[in-house]
Chain A
Amino acid sequence: MKTKDITRRHLLRVGGLAGAGLLTSTAAPSFLLGNKAFAAATDTVSGGSSAADRTLRVSVDDFGSEIFDPNITDGKMITLLNPMFDTAFISDDTGLVPGLIEKWEMADDKLSWIFHVRKGVTFHDGSALTGKDVKYSYERSINPEGEEGGAWRGVIGDKPHVELIDDYTVQVFTPKPQPFLPLMSSWDDPFMYIVPMDYIEKNGEDYFKANPIGSGPYKLSKRAAGNYIEYEAVDYPHWSGFVPDFKRVVFYLVPEETTRIQMLQNNEIDEAPLSLDTALQVSGQNGVTTQPNTYAAVWLGFIGSYLPEAKSSPLSNIKFRQALSLAINRQEIIDGYFHGQAKLPPPTRSSLDHAYLPQDIRKKWWDWAANAYRYDPDAAKKLLAEAGYNGAAFEIWSLPDTSAPYDPDLVQLCVGYWAKLGINATTVPVDNGVWRQVRHTSKSLQAVGKAVIQASDYGDPALPVGMNWWTSSNGPGNLLVGAPQQADFDKLYTAAISESDIPKLVQDVDAMYKMSTDSWTAIPLLIGTSLNAYSARVKPVFPPDVQVGKSEPYYFNRWKYTGVEPS
C-alpha cells in the first residue's frame, strides 16, 4: 500500500536532495561555512609595514611524506622542517661554527666526541633544550623508518652509545673514529635536528608527529594535508639572533610548474622553483628575480664496466669511455643551454672543496679536471681509432631527477656530440623505480654495460663518504665492480672515513681520486643548476653564489623583505 504512495519521482527528489545535502555537508567546512584554516591560508596578508603582519608564500612541488618527525621523514620534508628545528651544528664555508653545540672536541682515543650544549635555548613549549635532548636525538637518529637511519647506523652503530656527562655536556661514542661526525650533524646529509625528549616521551610519537615542536625560529601554526604548511615566528628572541622579516612563512604544495608560474605572475606566491628556461623567461616581469636554488654535480656513470657481462659493450673499453668525455663541449652547453648559469665539472662526482682539506690538493684536482674534461674531438677520434670502436653503439639510460630536471636534455646533447664522431647512442628513458631495482649489480645485471646519467648533491659534508660509489659494499652503481683495483679502493675508503689526521686523509683522498678518475667509470659533465623565481617582495639573501663545498644554509635565513609590494 505504501508503494502506491511513494512514486519513483518522489524518491528521485528525495534522493537528489539527500545527495546534495551529503555533498554540501562534506564540502561545507571548507566551502560554505568558511573553514578557518582554509581562510587563513588563502587570505594571508601578503603585505604589511612590519614583520608582524607580513606573510611569505613559498610554493614547492612536493611535500614528500608530510611527516613532521625529522627522524622518520623523507628528504623533501626535511627541508620544509628547517624553519622549525635547529641542527646540532652549523657549517659555513669556513667550516663549523658554534650553534646549539658551542664547543666540541674529539676524545684522545678518537672513539668519541664531547659536545658542549649552548645554555638558554628553549623549545617552542618553553622547556629548556639540554644535553639529554641532544643525547636522545642521536639515539633516535638510527630509526630504520627514517631516510637517514641507515647512514647514522653506519656512523654511530646499531646501538648508539651516548652518555650525558652533565646537563649540558654529551659524549657520543662511535665504533670507529668518526672525524666528520660534527660536520655530518650540521644541515646536510645525514643531518641532525635536535628534538625534545620530554615532550615526545610524555605525549607519544604520534602526538609529536601531529603537533611537532622544535627550537627553531619558527613554530608550526597550521597545516592542511596536501595543501599547505604554515609557520609562525616565535614571539621571543631566538638564540641565533635571527630576526625574521616575515612573521609567517607558508609553504604551498603546487605540483605543476605552469600553475606556479601563473601564481607568481598573479602575485599569489613569492617563491617558486622553476626550470631554467622558464625562470629566465619570467625574470624581470613585474619585478620577478631569479636565483640558483640547487647545484648538482651531473655525471655519466658506466655500470659494471669491468664485469665479463659488459664485454659486448664498447663501454667496457676505457679509451672509449674517455673518448666520450672528450667529445662533449661542456662550455657550449653551459653557455647555450644553461645561459651561463652552470659551472664546469668537479674532478669527480663529489666535491673536493671542503674546509678541512688544504688548498693545494683542491687546486691540483680542479686543474686536472679542467684539462681532462676539455672538448677535444680530435683526441676523441684518435682514442676511438685506438680502441677500434669507430661506429660503435650503446644505450644511455635517462632518468627523471627532480634535483636535476635538465638531465634528460643533457643526455640528448651528449648523444648529439657523440653522433658527430659516428657513435650511435640510444637514449632509453628509465623510470626511477626501475632504476632503483636494477642499479645494484649484485642484484641485477640489467644495467651492466650501459651508461646512465646521475646527479649528486654538490658538496657532501664529509668528502670521503661521497666516494662510496666506487666501493664494493655501498656503491649502488658499483662503478668498480669486477675491477682489479676494487679491493685496494675499498681499503682506502674504509681508512679515509675514519681518518682524523689531515695529512693522512689528504693522502687517502688523493689516492682515491686517482683511482676513480683513472677508471673513467664516471664522467662528470658539469655542475648544473635549477632556479627559484622570487616576487618583487622578496630578496633571497642566500645563496648569493653557492660556493663549492659550502653546506646548505638554514632555510629560514633565506628571505628578506624588499619593501616592494607588486601590483
Chain B
Amino acid sequence: MIWFLGKRVLAGIVTLYVLATLVFILARLIGNPVDMLLPPDATPADRDLMIHSLGLDQPMYVQYVQFLVSLLKGDLGQSIKYQAPVVQLYFERLPNTLSLALVAIVVSVVVGFSLGMIAAVFRGSFLDRLSRLLSVIGMSAPSFWVGILLIIVFAVHLGVVPVARMGGPTSYILPGITWGLFLLAGIARLVRSSMIEVLDTEYVKLARIKGVSPFAIVWKHSLRNALLSVVTFIGTQIAFLISGSVAVESVFAWPGIGRLMYDGIVGRDYPLVQGCLLITGFLVIAINLAVDVVYAYIDPRIRVIEGT
C-alpha cells in the first residue's frame, strides 16, 4: 500500500510540475502585459519602468526558476491587473463558483436521472424519444443562448426570478439550470444506456419471471447496478465545474473563477492566469489522487496490479 501510495503521489507531483511548466510557457504566449496595461500615450520610459518592476527584463530561464521557487513556497504571485495575491483572488471567487456548481449538479442529477430512467423503462416510446431530444438539445445548445432564453422567459416575462447577479437563493436558479443542462444531458444519456443494458441481463429477466414488481426491478435490481458508470461520469465533470464557466458567469454577471480567468487572459495578466490554472490543476490532481487511493483501499486487486 505504501509503495502504491508513494507511486501515485510521485506521479501527482510530476504531473503538477509538467502542468506548471506548460502554464508558464503558455501564459507568456498570450502577449506582453505591459502593452495592455500602459495607457496609449505612455512614454518608452514608462514602458521600461513597468517591464523592470514586473521582472520581465530578466532572461526567461531566470523568470522560470523564480516562478518554480515561488511556487514551492506557495506564492503564486501578484495579479498585474488587480495588484493582489493570486491565491487571495482565486479563493475569494471559488465559493461563488462552487455554490453555483452545487446547484448545477443537483439540477442535473435529479433531472438527468429521471429522464434517463424514464427513457430506458419506456424504451422506444414517445417519452423515450422526447427524453433523447432533450438530451441532444442539452448537449448541443450553447450555454450563452440557453441562458438568455431562460432570462427572457422566466425573469422578464414571468417575473419569477431575477435576471442576473449573485444574490439571494432565487438568483441561483437560472444560472444553475443553464450550467447544469450540459451535465444533465450527459447523465440522462448515460443512465438510459446503462439501464437498458442492465434491464436486458439474465438476472433481471429472471426477476420478471419470478413476478417481482416492475418498481422493485427498476429501483432495487437495475438502477443500483447502472449507477457506477454514471457516478464516475459525474466525478469527472465536477473537476470541470471547479474551473467555472465563462459563458454562464458572463451572462448572469456571476463573480466566479471562469470570469476571473477570462479577465486574466484578456488583460494579459499572466500571473493570474498561471495561478488560476495551477490551483485548479492542483485541485483536480488532488481529487483524482484521493479517488485512486480510496479505490485501492477498497479493492486490493488495484494496488496489486499497480504495484507490479
List residues of A whose CB falls within 8 A of some B CB.
3, 6-8, 11-12, 15, 19-20, 23-24, 26-32, 34, 38-39, 41-43, 64-67, 72, 74-75, 144-145, 147-151, 153-154, 209, 224-228, 252-256, 258-259, 262-263, 265-266, 268, 432-434, 436-437, 439-440, 442, 468, 473-474, 476
Contact = CB atoms under 8 A, between A and B. Distances in A.
7 contacts: A27-B98, A224-B166, A227-B96, A227-B166, A262-B148, A268-B162, A432-B36
Nearest to A6: B298
A535 to B, nearest CB: 13
Contacts of A154: 43
Contacts of A7: 298
A468 B297 CA distance: 71
B299 A8 contact: yes
Given A15-B294, A23-B99, A259 B83 contact: no
Contacts of B164: 254, 259, 262-263, 268
Interface in B238-280: 238, 250-253, 255-256, 259-260, 268
A15 to B, nearest CB: 7
A224 B253 CA distance: 13
B252 A259 contact: yes
Contact of A31 (B31, B89, B172): B172
B211 interface: no
A138 to B, nearest CB: 18
A28 B98 CA distance: 10
Interface in B91-106: 92-96, 98-103, 105
A30 B255 contact: no
A309 B263 CA distance: 36
Contacts of B294: 11, 15
Q: For chain B, what secondary structure do more than half of its interface residues adopt (helix, strand, loop), or is it mixed?
A: helix
A150 B42 contact: yes
Contacts of B256: 226
Given A66-B82, A259-B253, A31 B99 contact: yes
Nearest to B287: A19
Interface residues of B, number: 67
Contacts of B96: 30, 227
Nearest to B291: A15
Nearest to A27: B99
A43 B168 contact: yes
Nearest to B241: A23
B46 A67 contact: no
B168 A39 contact: yes
B71 interface: no
A225 B92 CA distance: 8
B5 interface: no
A224 B238 CA distance: 25
Interface stretch (B55-63, B113-121, B150-158, B201-209): B150-158
B74 to A, nearest CB: 19
A147 B39 contact: yes
Given A150-B43, A226-B259, A262-B163, 13 more contacts: A6-B297, A7-B298, A26-B98, A31-B169, A38-B166, A38-B168, A65-B83, A144-B50, A253-B253, A433-B35, A437-B31, A442-B44, A474-B41
B32 interface: yes
Nearest to B40: A476
Contacts of A258: 148, 251
A263 B155 CA distance: 9
B159 interface: yes
B148 A476 contact: no
B28 interface: no
B98 A474 contact: no
B21 interface: no
A3 to B, nearest CB: 7
Given A145-B53, A468-B41, A268 B31 contact: no
A462 to B, nearest CB: 13
A434 B35 CA distance: 8
Given A3-B298, A26-B98, A67-B83, A436 B53 contact: no
B167 interface: yes
Nearest to B161: A266
A61 to B, nearest CB: 10
Q: Which of A226, A254, A442 has the most CB of B within 10 A?
A: A226
A330 to B, nearest CB: 24
Contacts of A253: 253, 255
B39 A75 contact: yes
Contacts of A34: 168
B66 to A, nearest CB: 20
B83 A265 contact: no
A12 B231 contact: yes
A27 B164 CA distance: 18
Contacts of A72: 83
B95 A256 contact: no
